[in-house]
Amino acid sequence: MKKQILNILPYIASGFLLLASGCTDEQSGIPVASGTPLTITAEIGTSASPSSTDRLGDAAPANDYDLSKFRTDDQINVTCTRNTALLASSGYTLNAAGSWKAPAGSELGFLPAVTYRASFPVGYDGIQASQEKKADFLKSNYLRTPEVPVSGAEVKFTGTNAFNHENAKLTLKFTGVNTLPVFSRMTVQATGLRTGSSTAAESINMLRPVDSEYIWCAVIYPQATNTDISITITDTYGLTYKATVQCVMAKGTSYTYTLKLQNNILVPVGQAEIKDWTVSSRHNGDFD
């Protein structure tokens, strides 16, 4: 009987080693204890893996509404789930050193067999009807990552697991600007433009990122169906100009329409410019 016990001891020891190896740090191979605080890295879309300086978002002020990279003091919400059940969530803020930090005592810790997911902005509550201010455009600009499984205490929301745009972007720009009146408001309207409703006509007042340019943009709902969008422009004299464009409104896609004013009638020029909503299609003082 004693001989049999001695023979199975190596197998018991091997079993414990296998269990321990299931929750190890990916680089060192050292087992990671449950509750070990997470280290988080994050980037947006297809932007190159940023250095700590790049992550701070050294972009021109005109681009602070349309993120291609996170900026100091940006906040994300990170959730932890197991089999679709939410286990925990916490907000993380990007500090001046380029690190994501949660308030003391609310850090998420490593757990086995879970996935992590992050979103921006914290407290997103839908697409705003008025996006005339950059802050309201930013509130509408919902970004989210895929669900990311981990085997250690580092969560990388980068590469194929990076943040991506969950909505679509509509941009209107105008030719012949030297002959155009001063526009005071740009409004677009379509069925389900903000919520995806199949019946309600919804409107958005658009953002003009640069006062000296005849370019307006808005975040719109990703209906993924060809939709007529009506455009109404009001100038400083109270006169209105109207046009209609068709837009598929696909998630993560940027649509740019060029228009001109001809005999006081708005006329679309050419086909829409359609791109992935990434760094390359982001307004940067001019359009790519």
Domain boundaries, the chain: 32-165, 168-279
d(CA 188, CA 202): 8
d(CA 55, CA 33): 29
Tell me the per-residue pLDDT of 49-108, one tens digit each, with 9 for 90 and over. 333 333 333 333 435 788 888 999 999 999 999 999 999 999 999 999 999 999 999 999
Tell me the per-residue pLDDT of 227-240, one tens digit each, with 9 for 90 and over. 999 999 999 999 99
SS3 content of the chain, % helix, strand, coil (to 5): 15, 40, 45
Given the candidates 3.50.50.60, 3.30.300.30, 3.30.70.3270, 2.60.40.2620, the CATH classification of the domain at 32-165 is: 2.60.40.2620
Q: Which CATH class is domain 168-279?
A: mainly beta
Global pTM value: 0.81
Task: Provide the pLDDT confidence category of residue 206 given band limits of 50, 70 and 90.
Answer: very high
Instruction: Tell me the residue ranges of DSSP E strands in the chain.
Output: 39-42, 75-82, 85-94, 100-101, 115-120, 143-144, 148-149, 154-157, 164-165, 168-174, 183-191, 201-205, 215-220, 227-235, 240-247, 253-262, 265-276
Residue whose structure tokens are 């580092």: 154
Q: Which two tokens stand for residue 223?
A: 């209906």
> 46 versus 129: which is more confidently predicted?
129
Which pLDDT value is given to residue 53?
32
Tell me the per-residue pLDDT of 112-162, one tens digit each, with 9 for 90 and over. 999 999 999 999 999 999 999 999 999 999 999 999 999 999 999 999 999
Tell me the per-residue pLDDT of 16-35, one tens digit each, with 9 for 90 and over. 333 344 445 555 556 789 99
Domains 32-165 and 168-279 share a fold: yes
Task: Give the strand order in the sheet containing 183-191.
Answer: 201-205, 183-191, 227-235, 240-247
Q: Which two tokens stand for residue 108?
A: 């998420």
> Residue type at 84?
T
What residues pair up with 201 in beta bridges, in sequence order? 191
Q: Which residues contact 166 (CB under 8 A, 6 or more apart)?
A: 142, 143, 144, 222, 251, 252
> 188 versus 54: which is more confidently predicted?
188
What residues pair up with 163 in beta bridges, in sequence order? 44
Cα angle for residues 40, 44, 214 (degrees, 5° grid): 150
Mean pLDDT (the chain) is 84
Name the residue among 203, 201, 174, 198 with its Cα closest to residue 188. 203
